[in-house]
């Protein structure tokens, strides 16, 4: 899709606003040239040591001791750092307070970190770490959520959300279906692995470079482990080489481990995980297991639903509570659930502690209701699109979610029907059926699925942000905010927002590194809210500077401040036009403040965490995708042939970046549901821990026909620039791939109701053979 070429004319001079048009990512040229600095590129301070983790070889057991003598005998090794070296709390400062900094007393998963080896160089540290001996009395591990549920082993108490009487509705329903299935986890596979670099400063102060989505939490965790106040620790992050949720909490582990080592040795310490260790130590997307019982009428409209969700959380809570909560919130996706009972069990297993991942539980909620829609359609012999349309939220009625939030901005029906028309969905469905009748081996399938994704942190307190805008005497502008850049274009969008607020060219604005000493207590860059929160805070900061300048110029020209315009690098009144630079210089000479802070809190949101009722989201982002696939019935291999997407980003701040997020999110979701399979053996060893065994989508997996269009309507809520969040919602559009594969299996005479995700070749073949 080509971005609109939006231009304005000011005093016969045409200029292009910074926001609303496509432009390069602010770091694109530096990244292409290899000049963009990541943490491992920062020149090392003299005396820097390197650490490597010492990982448990057993999934569950009683820890009797750790012997590092062989490692310490290796030349260049300085120390083994363990739990006894922690000066502060030995438990990480996570909200559940249930995860040790280093293993203590017991081992909870294979790969759990019991300490560090610190050496002169990274390879020596890694070799030495593998010489450390563990003394563990092995116990039987719990490896599946079904096992944990049977033992009532949970990291957090179960949660139940109900509306109406689901059991009675099921009894009255003309038709019922029951089913069970599983969806796997997903490795984040960020290009830049987890890394932290910690420097001791004077007077018990610390500087931490961390590849993190949440510098404020890293600051809190490090200070807690060192027994210091937060103000003694500064955390900086200029950019990450990908995050996807995997660096929301779990970047904090590395920073704490490196800080404990630096504290003991009084020297800078860098800790960078290699890819295998990253796989073995860090958490993944939460795997889910489901059981559902659904009632429906002859049109396929739902009458009642009972749904059990078993969430594989791993050995500690991490972010499992809010992830599982969001799965409950999104179990409706686009559909009205009148009589419903949802039961969520947060299961404790002896695996890595699973964590945030793009969508944050939303995909695991959406996929179950989309699967149910497909099953109902096949049971009734109807087109799945018609069943989906019959169940959509309404405008005047049937418009309140099962958690009592009114859906006020509903564009589902027009968006879906427009996509069905422009993609030729119904004609293609008929053509596919005819094609399949004459093709004995290759079968095709097609599906159209929507998404309705709530935007805001479900933990209401995190929906706040701060920013600083500085205007320098040469007219250049610097903006700093609490968000973090991980390739998603946040800094590019924020700079554009500030540029338009001040009426200056985009190139005059520089976004700087996230830094806890500049904007304190910032929330994680997550929940797709980075631009919504930080962009608005930066806009407010820039607005205050503009108002200061407007009052100054109004005084010079004898006009009202509201009549002063800032456009195209000029400051304009009815009496005179001045350059931006001249106004800034004159304002400085007259002692006018040229910097300001800005603060934003999301309005309207509220909900009761105990009852799970209220308005947890400011608005919804919508979209839909049509996907066509082909499967080989002899091997189970599959290929995505065509993808058509119509997605709602409101009034786009940067269409090129938004379309890139839509494409990337879809492909990542496609990987989750087709090739990215995590396999633990019976001893709790993650066997898919490298690119050789864990397959993310490659360029050859991208369909030749991949069309993305943007819905033209601005956000109906008062959001920055009229935009909507775009980071996470497109991920769930890839559920159309899974449903299209199930359609192909059904057209081949298989059992699509038996298929789990990811739909690997083996899984497709199993469903084709009716197992």
CA 294 to chain centroid, in Å, comes to: 30
Give, to the nearest 10 degrees, the angle between helix 320-329 and helix 362-380: 30
Beta bridge partners of 108: none
With the C-alpha atoms ordered 162, 164, 170, 173, is the resulting torsion angle positive or negative? negative
Residue 596 zone, left/alpha/beta (φ > 0; ψ -120 to 50; rest): beta
Work out whether strand 206-210 and strand 233-237 pair parallel, antiparallel, or are unpaired.
Answer: parallel
Task: List, in order, residues 6 or more apart from 410 with CB less than 8 Å away.
Answer: 392, 393, 394, 395, 399, 620
The DSSP annotation for 282-321 comes to S--SPPEEEEEEEEE-TT--EEEEEEEEEEEEESS-TTHH
Give the integer Cα–Cα distance in Å for 419 and 403. Answer: 29
Active-site residue, from 192, 728, 739, 763: 728
Would you tell me how many other CB atoms lie within 10 Å of the CB of residue 225?
25
| Omega before residue 758 within 30° of 0, cis | yes
Give the integer Cα–Cα distance in Å for 440 and 424. Answer: 25
- Residue 374 and residue 354 in contact, taking contact as beta carbons nearer than 8 Å: no
- Give yes or no: 192 in active site: no
Beta bridge partners of 511: 479
Give the integer Cα–Cα distance in Å for 590 and 288. Answer: 63
Give the integer Cα–Cα distance in Å for 174 and 471. Answer: 67
CA distances from 661 to 144, 376, 450, 756 (A): 33, 32, 17, 27
Specify the length of the chain in residues: 771
Maximum alpha-carbon separation in the chain: 85
Q: In what order do the strands lie in the sheet with 595-601?
A: 509-511, 477-481, 464-471, 595-601
Give the integer Cα–Cα distance in Å for 504 and 501. Answer: 8
Q: Is 246 helix (H, G, I), strand (E, B) or coil?
A: coil
Rg for the chain, CA atoms, rounded: 27
Residue 563 CA neighbour count, 13 Å, CB half: 13
Residue 426's φ and ψ, nearest 5 degrees, are: -70, -40
CA 575 to chain centroid, in Å, comes to: 50
Where do the DSSP E strands lie in 425-574? 442-455, 464-471, 477-481, 509-511, 514-515, 565-567, 570-572
Give the integer Cα–Cα distance in Å for 126 and 129. Answer: 5
Q: Give the residue numbers marked as catalytic.
A: 728
């Amino acid at each position: 899709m080509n971005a609109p070429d939006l231009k304005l004319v000011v005093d016969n001079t045409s200029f292009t606003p910074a926001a609303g048009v496509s432009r390069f990512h602010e770091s694109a040229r530096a990244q292409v040239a290899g000049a963009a600095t990541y943490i491992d590129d920062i020149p090392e301070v003299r005396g820097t040591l390197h650490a490597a983790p010492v990982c448990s070889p057993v999934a569950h057991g009683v820890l009797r001791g750790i012997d590092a003598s062989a490692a310490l005998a290796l030349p260049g090794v300085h120390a083994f750092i363990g739990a006894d070296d922690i000066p502060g709390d030995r438990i990480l400062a996570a909200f559940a307070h249930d995860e040790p900094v280093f293993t203590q007393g017991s081992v909870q998963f294979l790969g759990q970190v019991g300490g560090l080896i610190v050496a002169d160089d990274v390879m020596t540290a890694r070799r030495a770490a593998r010489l450390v001996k563990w003394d563990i009395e092995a116990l039987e591990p719990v490896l599946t959520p079904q096992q944990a549920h049977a033992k009532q082993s949970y990291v957090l108490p179960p949660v139940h959300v109900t509306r109406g009487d689901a059991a009675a509705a099921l009894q009255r329903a003309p038709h019922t279906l029951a089913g069970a299935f599983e969806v796997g986890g997903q490795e984040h596979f960020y290009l830049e692995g987890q890394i932290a670099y910690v420097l001791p400063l004077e007077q018990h102060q610390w500087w931490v470079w961390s590849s993190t989505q949440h510098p404020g939490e890293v600051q809190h965790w490090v200070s807690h482990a060192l027994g210091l106040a937060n103000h003694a620790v500064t955390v900086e992050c200029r950019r990450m080489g990908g995050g996807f949720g995997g660096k929301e909490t779990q970047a904090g582990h590395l920073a704490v481990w490196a800080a404990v080592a630096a504290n003991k040795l009084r020297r800078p310490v860098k800790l960078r995980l290699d890819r295998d260790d990253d796989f073995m130590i860090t958490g993944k997307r939460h795997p889910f297991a489901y059981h559902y019982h659904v009632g429906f009428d002859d049109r396929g409209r739902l009458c009642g639903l009972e749904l059990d969700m078993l969430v594989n959380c791993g050995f500690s809570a991490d972010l499992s509570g809010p992830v599982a909560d969001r799965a409950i919130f999104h179990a409706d996706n686009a559909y009205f659930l009148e009589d419903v009972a949802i039961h969520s069990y947060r299961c404790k297993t002896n695996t890595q502690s699973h964590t945030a991942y793009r969508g944050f539980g939303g995909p695991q909620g959406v996929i179950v209701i989309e699967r149910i829609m497909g099953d109902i359609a096949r049971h009734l012999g109807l087109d799945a699109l018609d069943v989906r349309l019959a169940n959509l939220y309404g405008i005047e009625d049937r418009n309140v979610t099962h958690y009592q939030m009114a859906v006020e901005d509903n564009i589902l029906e027009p968006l879906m029907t427009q996509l069905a028309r422009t993609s030729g969905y119904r004609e293609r469905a008929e053509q596919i059926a005819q094609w399949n009748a004459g093709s004995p081996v290759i079968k095709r399938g097609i599906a159209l699925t929507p998404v309705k994704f709530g935007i805001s942190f479900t933990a209401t307190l995190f929906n706040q942000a701060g920013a600083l805008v500085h205007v320098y005497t040469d007219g250049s502008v610097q903006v700093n905010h609490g968000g973090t850049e991980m390739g998603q274009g946040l800094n590019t969008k924020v700079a554009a927002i500030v540029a338009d607020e001040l009426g200056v060219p985009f190139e005059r604005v520089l976004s700087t590194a996230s830094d806890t000493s500049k904007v304190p207590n910032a929330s994680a860059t997550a929940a797709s809210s980075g631009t919504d929160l930080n962009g608005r805070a930066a806009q407010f900061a820039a607005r205050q500077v503009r108002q200061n300048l407007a009052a100054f110029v109004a005084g010079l020209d004898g006009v009202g401040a509201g009549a002063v315009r800032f456009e195209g690098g000029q400051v304009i009144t009815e009496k005179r036009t001045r350059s931006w630079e001249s106004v800034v210089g004159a304002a400085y000479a007259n002692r006018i403040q040229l910097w300001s802070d800005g603060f934003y809190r999301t309005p309207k949101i509220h909900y009761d965490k105990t009852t799970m009722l209220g308005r947890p989201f400011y608005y919804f982002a919508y979209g839909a995708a049509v996907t066509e696939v082909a499967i080989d019935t002899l091997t189970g291999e599959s290929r995505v042939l065509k993808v058509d997407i119509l997605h709602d980003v409101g009034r786009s701040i940067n269409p090129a970046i938004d379309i890139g997020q839509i494409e990337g999110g879809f492909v990542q979701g496609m990987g989750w549901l087709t090739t990215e399979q995590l396999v633990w053996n019976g001893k709790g060893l993650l066997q898919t821990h490298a690119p050789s065994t864990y397959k993310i989508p490659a360029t050859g997996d991208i369909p030749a026909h991949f069309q993305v269009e943007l819905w033209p309507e601005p956000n109906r809520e008062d959001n920055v620039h009229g935009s909507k969040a775009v980071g996470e919602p497109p991920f769930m559009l890839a559920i159309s791939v899974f449903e299209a594969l199930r359609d192909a299996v059904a057209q081949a005479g298989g059992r699509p109701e038996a298929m789990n995700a990811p739909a690997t070749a083996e899984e497709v073949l199993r469903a084709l053979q009716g197992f």
